Structures are given as structure tokens and as C-alpha cells.
Amino acid sequence: MIPTTCVLVTARFFDEKAADILRDAGLEVLTGGIAPDAIDSVITGEMHDALARCCAWIMGMPPVGSDLLARYPKLQVLARRGVGYDTIDVAAVKAHRRLLTITPGSNEATVADHAVGLMLAVGRRYVESHRRMQSGEKGVLVGTELSGKTVGLIGMGRIARLVARRLAGFDARVIAHDPYLRQDEADQHGVQMASLETVLASSDFISLHAPLTDSTRHLIDERALVRMKPDAILINTARGELVDDGALLAALRHGRLAGAGLDVIGSERDASLEAVTRELLALPNVICTQHTGGSSREGLERANRRAAQCVVAALEGQPLPPDVIVVDGRSP
């Protein structure tokens, strides 16, 4: 049993069953009065008080850097609910000797479902058809099938592999570009390895599953969009910054791309792109969702539980749950 101490939870939709895992270990859970993932350049009020008191923090995607870690020395464990840590300065975590955990595997099936759902929704023009029904407009919209098409996956991690499995049911030809993908892994998942140029030029649907790094930022830019088929559909359930939204808007407006399904957009982290986002939303061949690809009830419950288990294990000095990604700055 851990001596009574505090855990701050700012991850949205953190359920009581997950909170009970913390409480059963003798931890006080702080959530009330603090907006989920709300972090300003200057932290004041209840957020400051909570961070100053707590030894652990279960979070969604707030930015965490060296200044924050230096300001709150009691905060020893950071548990990121979900996949990726591009908002967290990993070097700072190591320098300040803190522990960071990331919980992949919790919502991968949810995101894979969402990616395929966006392919169907954009291809078959669901939103356009719904709006026409609402307005009483007559006529039938003609869409495009997913069945039998070539789908290109950029990035071949856990989520992309589940997407490939789902696409087998559509008799789709799946090709993938991932510099770390081995031929035997591709064969195992029924995927044909290809260069980025081939994926861009040959695919009817292109689905992004790459991590955000310096080399993948704006991976889909004007040059990449020019290589794509004019009747292709772009799907992004990974990170908004993988796509140059301004270039995407221009391609869609000028008929150089058939449509886009976006669960993530650049303006999530760059307010200067909000005008571009509004223009994308106004296009009939674009469907945007609110970064909800991983937000099923089941997926959130799994992620919450694993994040809570990570905190308890880290504070008790026990082994962390399997398949958790760990950055341990406490190690010598």
C-alpha cells in the first residue's frame, strides 16, 4: 500500500473504475475544478496547486517541458493515456529524472475502425447525402467503393496492421510504406511493401499511420499531393502535422484530390491554421471528426485502466504492465 499521496488526472473521460484502482492503492485522486488537459504557458490557480501536491499525473496530450518539470519537483510519474508522446519533451523527462509511461494497445482497434469508417464515409459521400436529405434536395449522389481498391498505408505500426486486417474483408489490395517494415512482417499481414512514391501514385485511398517526427512533419505536402491520383481519398487518423493543411485545401479545391477524412488537423496545435480548418470544413468532400478516433467507451476504459496501473506500479516499485512504453529518467 502506498502512503496517502495525490494523483492528478486531466485525461478526459477518466472513469470511476480506473479511479478506484488508484484509490485502492491508497492514492487521492484530484480532478475537480481542473479543465482536462488545460495548460497555459503560466500555470496558476487550482492547476498549480494540484501539480505542486501530486506525485503522479495521468494526462491526455498537454505539452510538458523542462520548465514545468523543474517547477514541480514532487511530480515523479507522468502517465500518458494513449499513443505517442510528441507533446512531451522526452529529453527533459530524462534530465529531471522522472518516469514517463505511454499505453499503446488500448485504443488501437478503435482507431482502426475509425480509419476504415472514414474511407467508407468519404468514398460513399455519407455527409453530403445526409445534408441533401435534410434540405429536401432530390437526386442520388454517386460515390466510390472501397471494395477491390488499392489502399496505401503510410506507417505500418499496430493500428495500420489492424486496418490491413479489416481491409481484407473488402478484398482490397493493401500496399504500405514504412522504412522499418520487414518483408516477413508485411507478408504476415497480407501487405505489399512499396516505396512512398509508389504508395502515393498507386493508391485509391491513402491512410496515414506514421508518428510525428522532424522527418514526417508535412509528409503530405504539395509535392506529395501532386503525385496522388486525382480521384484518391486521403485519410488521417494519426497526427495533424503530417499534412500541410493549406496544400491539402488547394488540392481539394482544384480537383486534384477526390476527398479527405481527417480525425486530426494542424490547427489543433497551431491556431494560425484555424482559417484553413474552417475552409476545409466547408468543402463537401471533406469529413472532419474531433480527434475522436480512439474515443470509444471500450477503448477509453482500457486506456484509463492501463494508465492507472502504470501509476500504481511505478509508485510501488513493481513491474509495469506489459507492452507499456517507458521512459525512465530515474535509471542510472
Where in the sequence numbering do the catalytic residues fall? 239, 268, 291
| Best CA proximity match to 214, nearest among 178, 236, 242, 176 | 242
In terms of C-beta density within 10 A (0-12 exposed, 13-18 middle, 19 or more buried), how is residue 214 classed?
Answer: exposed
H/E element holding 226? helix 222-227
Query: Radius of gyration over alpha carbons of the chain, in Å?
Result: 21
- CB burial of 132-167 (b: ≥16 within 10 Å; e: otherwise) equals beeeeeeeeeebbebeebbbbbbbbbbbbbbbbebb
d(CA 227, CA 239): 21
How many C-alpha atoms does 34 have within 13 Å on its Cβ side?
Answer: 27
| Best CA proximity match to 152, nearest among 88, 79, 235 | 235
H/E element holding 227? helix 222-227
The position carrying cell 449522389 is 141
- Distances, alpha carbon 121 to alpha carbons 125, 257, 263, 287, in Å: 6, 16, 13, 8
